[in-house]
């Protein structure tokens, strides 16, 4: 029999864990399971509720799965269940074998998600708007993967005393200094175009630019061009790079 497992929302690791435990307890083969993030697309019966007690899995698998859960690749859930099944079937050292094709593929997916999370913490730019409750910092960002839930604690820790909203195409988060509330995603047009702090930030960025340490390749590595359209300072980068040699010559001359 073929079973359909619906993971909704599509980054819900807890839902995957619950479903995977039931599948393992029922000894369902990975080839007999389809995974989807849309309930209306589930063509086959779901595994009925049952015992979820299974042997403990390595912590390394849990950490890997939590990251891979955010990946946009639709194969993430079947691949994770294949790995889990192999662990449960006795390959206890599998997580220590990065040369294994399945482990290698999932580790690459997890690495992509972690890079995306790091870039979001670096490239989100808030703009201040006023609403009925006063000033609110609003940012729009387009992540590569579904990482907003995983990154939200970082922004709450850093800006706990501020009201802020982060808008993405997948979903939005609104922090009111006490509770994080998630809502449907929005397009870039819903975000504010600028604020009075932005000009100050551009001047600061230009003033701290060091022309003697210009490295365009390194810049492209750390700040890929796909992210620059939402960074206020990005509009100054080409001018700064173009004038770097002349500015360096003047510094040496002085």
Q: Evaluate if residue 251 carries a pLDDT over 70.
A: no
29 and 58 assigned to the same domain = yes
Residue 157's pLDDT is 97
Whether the CB-CB separation of 65 and 21 falls below 8 Å is answered with no
81 and 30 assigned to the same domain = yes
- Stated as kind and residue range, the H or E segment containing 96 is none
Range of the domain at 9: 3-117
- Tell me the whole-structure pTM to 2 decimals: 0.82
Q: Evaluate if residue 156 carries a pLDDT over 90.
A: yes
70 and 25 assigned to the same domain = yes
58 and 39 assigned to the same domain = yes
Whether the CB-CB separation of 25 and 49 falls below 8 Å is answered with no
15 and 87 assigned to the same domain = yes
Range with lowest mean pLDDT among 56-65, 224-233, 240-249: 240-249
92 and 162 assigned to the same domain = no
Q: Domain count of the chain?
A: 3
pLDDT tier, 116 (very low <50, low <70, confident <90, very high otherwise): very high
Give 55-64 contacts, CB < 8 A, sequence gap 24+. 55/88, 57/84, 57/87, 57/88, 58/87, 58/92, 58/95, 60/95, 61/87, 61/95, 64/95, 64/106, 64/107, 64/110
Q: Evaluate if residue 181 carries a pLDDT over 90.
A: yes
Residue 114's pLDDT is 97
77: left (phi over 0), alpha (psi -120 to 50) or beta: alpha
């Amino acid at each position: 029999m073929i079973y359909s497992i619906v993971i909704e929302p599509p980054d819900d690791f807890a839902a995957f864990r619950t479903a995977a435990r039931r599948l393992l307890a029922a000894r369902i083969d990975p080839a007999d399971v389809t995974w989807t993030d849309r309930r209306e697309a589930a063509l086959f019966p779901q595994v009925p509720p049952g015992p979820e007690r299974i042997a403990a899995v390595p912590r390394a698998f849990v950490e890997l799965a939590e990251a891979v859960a955010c990946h946009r690749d639709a194969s993430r859930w079947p691949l994770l269940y294949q790995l889990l099944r192999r662990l449960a079937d006795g390959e206890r050292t599998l997580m220590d074998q990065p040369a294994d094709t399945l482990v290698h593929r999932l580790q690459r997916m997890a690495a992509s998600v972690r890079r995306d999370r790091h870039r979001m913490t670096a490239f989100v730019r808030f703009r201040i708007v006023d609403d009925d409750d006063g000033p609110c910092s609003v940012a729009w960002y387009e992540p590569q993967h579904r990482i907003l839930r995983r990154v939200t604690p970082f922004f709450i820790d850093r800006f706990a005393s501020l009201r802020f909203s982060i808008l993405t195409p997948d979903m939005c988060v609104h922090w009111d200094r006490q509770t994080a509330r998630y809502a449907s995603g929005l397009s870039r047009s819903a975000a504010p175009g600028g604020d009075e702090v932005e000009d100050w930030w551009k001047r600061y960025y230009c003033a701290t630019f060091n022309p003697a340490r210009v490295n365009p390749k390194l810049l492209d590595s750390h700040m890929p061009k796909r992210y620059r359209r939402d960074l206020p300072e990005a509009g100054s980068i080409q001018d700064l790079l173009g004038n770097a040699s002349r500015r360096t010559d003047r510094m040496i001359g002085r």
